Structure formats: C-alpha cells, structure tokens
Amino acid sequence: MIDLKEKVVLITGASRGIGAASALLFAEAGAKVIINYNTNLQKARTVAKRIEKIQDNCEVTVIKADVSDKASVSKMFAKIRDKFGRLDILVNNAGIWQMAPIISITDEELRATIETNFIGTVNCIREAANLMRENGTGVIVNVSSTAARRGEAFYSHYSSSKAALHGLTKSLAVELAPYNIRVNAIAPGWVNTDMSKKAIQEKGSKIREKIPLGRIAEPEDIAGPILFLCSDLARFVNGAILDVNGGSVLVD
Ligand code: NAP
C-alpha cells in the first residue's frame, strides 16, 4: 500500500543503525534514496549496494555531510538540487548519544550534542523546506528519543537536544503546513545499534524488564513507523510525536 515511486528521500546518518534500516525500507517502497553519512563511507556504500540489489533500477545516492556544519549541509543540498531538482522526504536521523554528567560536562561535549542533534536538524530542514516549498509538497520526520519524553540522567544534554526537536516539530508543523509540508517526529526507546550496543551489553536484562513488549527494538522496528509517517497513509498526521518503545515510557 505504500508506494514511494519517483519520490526523492534524504535520510541523514544512514550509514548505520536506524538510518540504514530506513534507507533499505524506503528503497523497497520504490523511493530514490539519498544516503547521508559523516565518517563511515564504507558502511554507507554497503547500504547503497544492498539497496541496488533490491531492484535493478533502484536509484541510490551517497553524500557525505556533517549535519552540524551549515556549509557542509548547503553543499549536500546543492548536489541534491543539481541531481534531482526536488526533495520529497527528509528524515533527520543523524545523532550522537554520549554520557556526560552535569557536574563535569565540558563545553565541547555540550556543543557537540546540541550542534549535531538539534542544530544539525535545523540546518537540514532550512535547506529542505526551501526545496519542498518550490515543489509544493514535502514530508519531514525528526528522530527524537524517549529521553525527550521522560529525561535521561547523565545524558541531560542529549535529552534536551531531543526535547528541542519536539518544539521544533510542533512549530514547523504549523509554519510549513501552508506549503503542504508535514512535519512529525518519532521517539524510539532502546534500539539495538552501534549507539546503544555497549549499554545493552552491560544492562540488557534490566532494560528488557522495563519494556512491556519484553524486547529491545531492532532498527527495522523504527524504520517501519518512519516510513508510515512519510507515506500517504499518514497524510493527515502533522505535528505528532510518535512513541515507538514497546510501551516502556508507560512503566519506566
Ligand atoms: P548509530 O548507529 O550510532 O548511527 C548514527 C548515524 O548518525 C551514523 O550514520 C552516523 O554517520 C550519523 N551521524 C552522526 N553524527 C553525524 C553528523 N554530524 N553528520 C551526519 N551524520 C552523522 O545511531 P542509531 O542508534 O541508528 O541512531 C539514529 C537516531 O536514533 C539518532 O538520532 C539517535 O539519537 C536516535 N535514537 C537512537 C536510540 C538507540 O537506542 N539506538 C534510541 C532513541 C533514539 P557515520 O557512520 O558516517 O559516522
């Protein structure tokens, strides 16, 4: 039922984890996928190769850009404009999660998290909204976290960066609606990726105990709801924060 044929989709941070799983799913739905990465060219290429195997005529593009760097994001969008002349869907997925207790957090740690998770998202939306406005249509999904729902001790800067995405999502859902651009967010709980691997190894059973569905999500569990939000099935969903956590915030 979800057909994204001819749709151009940019997924930031798509070399690994949730972004990579989303890239594959969007490709299966027929989209022309743009894989953004920051440091892992090899992994980005591996995702692209997997996409090329889905269908012979699958169109996939790999672009390096540090989302926290405005100039780097501008260059990425210049390439998108040159190649496609449009962008239908933007998934702001790139993010970092690094522990930093408030009593010792450095300016660098604080800035890195806010600049990647929040400003990086703004950098991409600013460019995307202009392109989408020209084409009279667009969908944006911001990847947040349960940390924005209930806070996260020792990750206050991360939690704040994701809570900022909720304010951004709701504001832009109204601001960009006149241009037929929908803006939503998705708030995953624990997901089995590089980001959370170490924490899951150390306290996996404790984490599972607090998830009513009894397991930690795989990246594909998040990619599906992202695809839904970007599809026509969600054409009247705007300004929503979709919780995808197996019910954990209800009991944690
Ligand atoms: P991951 O496996 O660590 O992958 C992170 C991705 O973000 C990589 O593709 C990385 O690119 C990219 N990235 C990081 N900094 C970037 C930058 N400055 N510019 C461009 N790309 C950048 O993480 P994940 O678990 O899939 O997380 C994806 C999103 O879900 C994040 O926003 C995260 O906060 C959120 N989330 C994750 C969990 C979880 O438990 N894993 C839970 C809730 C929310 P390179 O590989 O090129 O470095």
User: pLDDT tens across 162-196, in order?
Assistant: 999 999 999 999 999 999 999 999 999 999 999 99
pLDDT the model gives residue 1? 83
Ligand 1 center–CA 145 separation, angstroms: 11
Q: What is the pTM of this model?
A: 0.98
* Residue 96 Cβ < 6 Å to ligand 1: yes
Q: With left for phi above 0 and alpha for psi between -120 and 50, is residue 85 left, alpha or beta?
A: left
pLDDT the model gives residue 9? 98
- Residue 181's identity, in one-letter code, is I
The atom number, within ligand 1, closest to the CA of 162 reads 34
User: 38-76 pLDDT, tens per residue?
Assistant: 999 999 999 999 999 987 678 899 999 999 999 999 999
pLDDT the model gives residue 95? 98
Q: Whose CA is nearest to atom 17 of ligand 1?
A: 66
Q: Which residues are annotated as catalytic?
A: 158
Taking residue 1's Cβ as centre, other Cβ atoms within 10 Å add up to 6
* Whole-number Å distance between alpha carbons of 185 and 125: 13
Coil, strand, or helix at residue 191? strand
> Phi/psi of residue 220, each to 5°?
-65, -25
> Phi/psi of residue 185, each to 5°?
-130, 160
Ligand 1 center–CA 180 separation, angstroms: 28
How is residue 136 written in tokens?
């009279």
pLDDT the model gives residue 114? 98
Residues 6+ apart with CB under 8 A from 166: 144, 148, 185, 241
Ligand 1 center–CA 15 separation, angstroms: 9
The answer to whether 102 and 155 are in contact (CB under 8 A) is no
How is residue 118 written in tokens?
């929040």
* Whole-number Å distance between alpha carbons of 148 and 162: 5
pLDDT the model gives residue 2? 95
Under-50 pLDDT residues of the chain: none
The atom number, within ligand 1, closest to the CA of 43 reads 46
* Residue 194 Cβ < 6 Å to ligand 1: yes
Q: Please give the CATH topology (third level) of the domain spanning 8-244.
A: Rossmann fold (3.40.50)
pLDDT the model gives residue 252? 73
Domain regions of the chain by residue span: 8-244
Q: Whose CA is nearest to atom 24 of ligand 1?
A: 17
pLDDT the model gives residue 21? 98
